[in-house]
Each structure stands twice: as C-alpha cells, then as structure tokens.
Amino acid sequence: MIDVEIFFSSLKNSGVDFFTGVPDSLLKDICAYITDNTDADNHIIAANEGNAISLGTGYHLATKKVPLIYLQNSGLGNAINPILSLADPDVYSIPMILLIGWRGEPNVKDEPQHLKQGKVTTDLLDTMKIPYEILSSEMNSHEADLVVKKMVKNSIDLNAPCALLVKKATFNSYQLRFEKKFQRDLCREEVIDTIIEEVKADDILVSTTGVASRELFEIREKKSQGHKKDFLTVGGMGHASQIALGISLFKKNRMVFCIDGDGALLMHMGALAINANNAGGNFNHIVINNSAHDSVGGQPTVGDKVDITGLAMSSGYLWAKKVTTKEKLIKLINQMRDFKGPALLEVQVKKGFRKDLGRPTISPLDNKYSFMEFLEK
C-alpha cells in the first residue's frame, strides 16, 4: 500500500506542485491529502475533467512546469478532446501527469456503469499513445516514488501527457481535516423522500448519478413502491437534466422531475441554457445542493458560492426558488408543479449519507425497460 504523504512528497520532489481534477472514490485519500496540504492557488477542483486538462495546460504555459490532473477513468470521456486537440505532441505538446482511478478493472467486482469503461481504459490510453504505469496496493511507497520520478521525467522528455493508473485500495486511508461547515437542517435522503411523497402517481423522476439514485432506490424499496417511475442515471455525471429534458419534450402530458446535484450541475452547466430555452411547462429541475462531491470522498464544490437560482433565471427558466426547510420544500414542490415551468428548485442540504446505504439491486437494463413501460401508460 502507498502512503499518501510519501506519494505527495514524491510528486513535490519531482517538481509537481499544481493539482486539478475531479474527485474519484479510488483517489479520495490522496485527493483529501492534496486538499489539506496545498494552497488554493495550486489546487483547483475542476467542474469537469476536460476543464482540468485545460487548467493544467494554462498552468504549464505560464510556468513551464508539469501539472497533475486527477480523475476517475469514466472522466476520460470528458478529457479526450482537450488531451488530443490541445495537450497532444501533434498540437501544443503539453507535459502533464494524469492520475486516473481505475474503476471497473477487469476481474474486480464493481458497479455496472464502470465495467465497460474499466475494460477499455488501457486500450484508450494506448490508442492516444499516452505512456502509463499502474499503481496498486502491492506496491510500497518507495516503489511508487520511483514510478513517479520515472513518469514525470518521461512527461518532460516527451513534452506530452503520461498517466498513473490507480487500482482499488492503492492508497492508505486519509480523512479530510479541513472541511467547509454549513448550518443546514435538511439531508438529501429526507429531501428525496419528500419529493416522492409530493409528486403525483403518473409523474416521472430522473435522478442524477451517485448517492441520489442510491437513496431514491432504497426509499422506494422501503415503501414497497417498485422502481418503474424512476430513471436511475447511474453513469454520465452531469447529464441527468438533459435526459429529463428529452423525456419531457416527447411526453408533454406528463410532469417530469429531475433530481440533480450541485456537482453534477456544475460539471455541465451549459445544460441550464438548453433546458430553459427548449423545455415546456412539464419540466421541473430540483437541484440538491450540499456543496460537496459526496459519493467520492466529500471534496468541496463551489456550490456554496454560486447563485444557482440566479443562473437558472438568467438562462431562461421562468421560475426558480431556493429552499432550506422541509415545510417550505413541500410548499414549493407543489408550487413549481402548478407553475408550468421550466422551473428550478434549489434545495440546500448538509453533507453526508448513511454508512449502510446500499446500491440498486436491479440492472440498468431492467431499470430501462420497466421505466419505458411506465412512460407508455
């Protein structure tokens, strides 16, 4: 197992002292250590992985130094375009280290949304001609130090991206010490339960990836309600509202509710403008804002600094409100439903979720087919 403190020192000793990326559960310990031990100018949690590549590019242009970009392998999809059209040796030739969490590694149990990405991760890196080394729990900190030095040197020599592919349980545990504290009464699970109670029998729910879909699934299980009314967006972070928009446009006689998160919203914020200028009166967008990437270690977002309702209104939503209490939540869910949108409701909640929270026990395909059957009614 690799010690996060020693690994961080290895990077710093190799001249890597700027960090940006999108948090990942396999990287949560090293990301937490970076957060606690790097000043704000040298560590920026990006909106998405493509933005992180671009931030790293700007850093190199300004300093001639090598940045580190951290991401889950599912984020390679967001990163491929700027890697190949900016950082690649055939374009601007930008050295950088990609620290990639290897979800869905072949022959390692993982969730369905990670399996395909896990199978093709090394093929993608090979196709993009990105040299990589694998870090695992079988390595010690000294071995990892040698790999870091080698890959940073390679990146500098090649003037190109190089990658460190991180297997499950590679780093020792490290708990984030300096967390933002908010005085908020609601929790996300309570909010989702309230939404379920307030929507009508034929209303359609689309939930964002991560903890929100897991909580929605378990609440339905507890209530013995089945899952046909819910599309659980287990992958594709940041795209749930566009799925909801697509459904709403072709099911105009049904109310559609998208249960979104602040991290997901920020990842593809341009969707706000597309939603607002294409949706009809049946589109309802509920953003649960805990100002954190809760499902991958609790790293902070800028959700506490962004005026989400203001963004919605300036994008063209016709109704946007913010709520912090259950009583007002109940009132505003019904108000937004009656308003005939496009409407957005921001619900501010505290960070965290139950330690015993499970995962959906139905497959994505089963979810898809039962949901489509519900849409036909």
What does the pLDDT read at residue 354? 87
DSSP H or E run through 30: helix 28-37
What does the pLDDT read at residue 104? 92
What 3-state class would DSSP assign to 351?
coil
DSSP H or E run through 102: none
Q: What percentage of the chain's residues is helix, strand, coil (to nearest 5)? A: 45, 15, 35
* Mean per-residue pLDDT, 297-326: 93
Question: Is-contact 151 162, C-beta < 8 A?
Answer: yes
More confident residue, 377 or 199: 199
Q: Is 358 exposed, middle or buried (0-12, 13-18, 19+ CB in 10 A)?
A: exposed
What does the pLDDT read at residue 362? 93
* Mean per-residue pLDDT, 287-292: 93
Evaluate if residue 86 carries a pLDDT over 90: yes
What does the pLDDT read at residue 367? 95
Q: How many residues would you count in the chain?
A: 377
Half-sphere exposure of 347 toward its Cβ, with a 13 Å CA cutoff?
29
Residue extents of the structural domains in the chain: 4-166, 188-376
Reply yes or no on domain 188-376 having CATH 1.20.1280.290: no
Evaluate if residue 295 carries a pLDDT over 90: no
Evaluate if residue 112 carries a pLDDT over 90: no
Beta partners for 283?
Answer: 256
What does the pLDDT read at residue 314? 97
* Mean per-residue pLDDT, 237-261: 96
What does the pLDDT read at residue 16? 98
Distance between CA atoms of residues 319 and 333, nearest Å: 12
More confident residue, 145 or 298: 145
Question: Is-contact 86 50, C-beta < 8 A?
Answer: no
What does the pLDDT read at residue 297? 75
* Mean per-residue pLDDT, 151-156: 98
Q: What is the pLDDT of residues 172-220, one digit of tens each?
A: 999 888 666 778 889 999 999 999 999 999 999 999 998 999 999 999 9
* Mean per-residue pLDDT, 93-118: 92
The CATH T-level fold of domain 4-166 is: Rossmann fold (3.40.50)
What does the pLDDT read at residue 283? 97
